Structure 1
Amino acid sequence: MGQLLFRESGMSQPPRLFDPALIGSHLARRPTRDNFVRDLVFEDLADRLGAYMRDFAKAVLIAPDVDLLPTTVATASGAVEFTPVEAFGGSDFPDLPDGELDLVVSLLHLQAVNDVPGHMARLRSRLKPDGLLLVAMLGGESLTELREAFLGADIAVSGGASARIAPMAQVRDAGGLLQRAGFALPVADVETHTVRYANAFALMAELRALGAANPLVDRSRRLATRSLLTAAATAYQDAAGDADGRVRATLEIIWLAGWVPHESQQKPLRPGSAKVSLSDLLKKD
């Protein structure tokens, strides 16, 4: 995941870990736009929005392949009509109006953003007071099997290790991102899925379809050789293969929800404002 620095006047720019243009290029060259992971996350979004008793008159959905996703999702109080925005459309930040939106949803994008708190703060500025930001991003426990398989294969084939799987956020840090970006009532939770593929090559193809095939700026410029890929696939099969020949992959989705501050929102009590002390309560039978 990108360097977790909030961009402020006078502060140095965070380092560029990810190459969004490369991700866009990967997406454009895919033989197919089918993607199980994208569709799985959108189904989870629909379930989550269904629990909100709230009208969102102006809503934006930012996602890869956003034109393949539905533009209408139901909440507990009615339908939400999304304006779709392509996540990797060539610009660092989408062209959104300031302070006019009720809801911004970002799916499978922020794990490839270099300045995550700064990006989230810019999203906050596009929301009205009491507007909601919902984020789904790949978490740090995702693809651990593939990461370890490539590490062992690199050492065995070339005698050294190269970064081939992008770093991702840990859930323990995710809630703090919302607070640093200025959101109130932050919530972070995780959905962990075990996904099965025919083999490691099928998993790699799925990652390419998501545009996630090694988007690092500081990546090896040498193409992965057939011997390296074969070694990685063999190591993967040995470590995470099932009796039927298929392989398992861990997919961790971190969900974040935060609201733009508003006077109507619940606020914590001031320290010392309690009317009854804990010691008095403990004395009672």
Structure 2
Amino acid sequence: MSETAAPPRIFDRALLRRRLSRAIERGGPDFLLRRAADDLLDRLLTVKREFPRSLDLGSPTSHFSRAVIESGRTPPWRASRYGGDVIADEEAPPFAPAAFDLIVSGMALQWANDLPGVLVQVRRMLAPDGLFLACLAGGASLVELRAVFAQAEEEITGGASPRVSPFADVRDMGALLQRAGFALPVADVDSFTLRYDSLFELIADLRAMGAANVLTMRARKPLRRDMLTRAAQIYAARHADPDGRVRASFEIVWVSGWAPHESQQKPAKPGSGAMRLEDAMKQLKPPQ
């Protein structure tokens, strides 16, 4: 009997839960969730389906549940470690196969230690022709912060520690959906830039929203004052606008996929075209 190796423990999810719970309790910044929820509503309004049984999986707040309701659907079950109808971990959802027609998730899956495994479980919980719509932080988020921390620490100590979490690359997400068994998988990205008075204001915002470093391999010691000061200098030199404010990149990766059903559009079979590719290319050539 073969044994399957457990996925690597990338994130300290107990620490994440404490920080996010504290941020929610204190009313931390929610601009990313509000932006994502507005986008979710727009996406749901383009789908002409009722989805009578829906689930909001893992979202730290009720923003995504409200978007489902605003789209005219039945209020979803909310399953999260931070409140809702069911207190549940998105990495181990306690639901039966084919239990839902729609599953949404907002800004939670970037901290899953086993993202492929979560996607497989989501696919299992969807009824045939059910829809999965989710977003998570993308790989280009905070690239400036990651780089300046690494340079400042390298200059002062001769080495660098992981200070910013790695995030999903949009190019990988479509393949992960397909691997999990979704039909018609799609991944796209919402990229935008925010501006801050300084590096220190950006860090304060991240901490207030509970999004500080939760890597299990994070540095044992916090950033020293001299490293933080040097990082702020590098950040201002490289990423400041003429008015002195600094830029921070953010990226929200959106994924969608359907549970397979015989009614869905299927790709044409190889060789079923009415014309050979070579002949079609000849017709596209301009006259000499």
**Deviating more after overlay: 104-113 vs 28-37:** 28-37
User: Can you list the C-alpha shifts for 1:37-80, whole angstroms capped at 9, x where unaligned?
Assistant: 1211111111111211111111112344324665253687x335
What is the rounded CA distance, in whole Å, between the counterparts of 2:196 and 2:96 in structure 1? 41
Which one-letter code corresponds to 2:20 in the other structure? L
Please tell me whether the aligned partners of residues 142 and 250 of structure 1 are also in contact (alpha carbons under 8 angstroms).
Answer: yes
| Among candidates 52, 75, 86, match of residue 80 of structure 2 | 86
What is the rounded CA distance, in whole Å, between the counterparts of 2:41 and 2:259 in structure 1? 21
Q: Which runs of 5+ in 2 are unaligned?
A: none
Distance verdict in 2 for CA 1:156–1:181, change over 3 Å: same
- Per-residue deviation at 1:18? 1.1
- Per-residue deviation at 1:23? 0.7
Cross-structure match for 2:32 = 37
- Per-residue deviation at 1:125? 0.8
Q: Secondary structure at the match of 2:75?
A: strand
Cross-structure match for 2:49 = 54
**Deviating more after overlay: 28-37 vs 175-184:** 28-37
**Deviating more after overlay: 150-159 vs 27-36:** 27-36
Taking only the aligned residue pairs, the percentage that are identical comes to 43
Instruction: Spell out the pairing of 1:131-210 with structure 2 (5 A cutoff).
Output: 131-210=130-209
**Deviating more after overlay: 95-104 vs 135-144:** 95-104
Please tell me whether the aligned partners of residues 24 and 90 of structure 1 are also in contact (alpha carbons under 8 angstroms).
Answer: no
Which one-letter code corresponds to 1:43 in the other structure? D
- Per-residue deviation at 1:104? 0.8
Higher relative contact order (CA 8 A, sep 6+): 1
Q: Provide TM-score, normalisation by structure 2.
A: 0.86
Cross-structure match for 1:5 = none
Cross-structure match for 2:228 = 229
Q: Which runs of 5+ in 1 are unaligned?
A: 1-8
Which one-letter code corresponds to 1:224 in the other structure? L
- Per-residue deviation at 1:14? 1.9
Distance verdict in 2 for CA 1:283–1:157, change over 3 Å: closer
Q: How many residues are paired up?
A: 276
Q: Provide TM-score, normalisation by structure 1.
A: 0.87
Which one-letter code corresponds to 1:248 in the other structure? R
- Per-residue deviation at 1:284? 7.3
Q: Secondary structure at the match of 1:12?
A: coil
- Per-residue deviation at 1:90? 6.9
Please tell me whether the aligned partners of residues 61 and 84 of structure 1 are also in contact (alpha carbons under 8 angstroms).
Answer: yes
**Deviating more after overlay: 55-64 vs 186-195:** 55-64
Cross-structure match for 2:103 = 104
